[in-house]
């Protein structure tokens, strides 16, 4: 099956610093990338959707200036959490889909971010 690689799997950073999370599709073209966040015992909440070469569309309540998404190529999207605070500590997961192939989205391994 299709593979999505997400790095890093775990990161601890100091409050006020920025963290970049990478999501790569290894064997298909990720025309659309989804970024989700999951707090403990909560559902996966969509943060933003990005199409290759376009600006990301953010869900209501998600600050676009804080969560910077870049999707410049068909195989790579990045999420940068800027000026991270402890309340940003969460499990972030990317999901990628090739719009022209099928209706399934494949997930990265997830990134556990802890801001101290």
Contact positions vs other proteins (CB under 8 A)? 6, 32, 34, 36, 41-46, 49, 91, 93, 95, 97, 99, 103-105, 107-110, 112
- Provide the 10 A C-beta neighbour count for residue 84: 22
Cβ(30)–Cβ(74) below 8 Å: yes
β-strand pairing of 45-51 with 32-38: antiparallel
- We find the least distance from the C-beta atom of residue 107 to other proteins, in angstroms, to be 4
- We find the least distance from the C-beta atom of residue 44 to other proteins, in angstroms, to be 4
In the complex with other proteins, the residue whose CB is nearer, 74 or 82, is: 74
């Amino acid at each position: 099956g299709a593979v999505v690689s997400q790095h890093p799997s775990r990161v601890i950073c100091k409050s006020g610093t920025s963290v970049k999370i990478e999501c790569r599709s290894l064997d298909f073209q990720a025309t659309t990338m989804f970024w989700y966040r999951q707090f403990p015992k909560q559902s996966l909440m969509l943060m933003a959707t990005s199409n290759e070469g376009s600006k990301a569309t953010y869900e209501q309540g998600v600050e676009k200036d804080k969560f910077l998404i870049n999707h410049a190529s068909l195989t790579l999207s990045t999420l940068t959490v800027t000026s991270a605070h402890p309340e940003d500590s969460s499990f972030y997961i990317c999901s990628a889909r090739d719009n022209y192939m099928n209706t399934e989205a494949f997930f990265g391994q997830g990134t556990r971010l802890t801001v101290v």
